[in-house]
């Protein structure tokens, strides 16, 4: 399994990030079941993005 993540501090939160999340999700679908993409913010999630805490929980379940 390959996990690709894009970490961002909350200070980098902007409207462009939603488009980047959609693109990452599309890449994940096209790459196949062994690949995952996560955009991660320190504490300020956006749609289809995760907080650092949530990502740690998800990886712990893999």
Model pLDDT, residue 62 = 76
Give me the long-range contacts of 14-17 (CB less than 8 A, separation at least 24). Answer: 17/46, 17/49
Average pLDDT over residues 25-40: 86
**Threshold 0.85, pTM exceeds:** no
Average pLDDT over residues 31-47: 80
Give me the long-range contacts of 30-37 (CB less than 8 A, separation at least 24). Answer: 34/1, 34/2, 35/1, 35/2, 35/3, 35/4, 36/1, 36/2, 36/3, 36/4, 37/4, 37/5, 37/6
């Amino acid at each position: 399994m390959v996990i690709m993540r894009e970490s961002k501090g909350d200070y980098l939160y902007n409207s462009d990030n939603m488009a980047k999340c959609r693109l990452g999700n599309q890449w994940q679908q096209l790459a196949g079941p062994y690949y995952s993409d996560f955009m991660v913010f320190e504490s300020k999630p956006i749609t289809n993005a995760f907080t650092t805490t949530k990502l740690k929980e998800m990886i712990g379940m893999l």
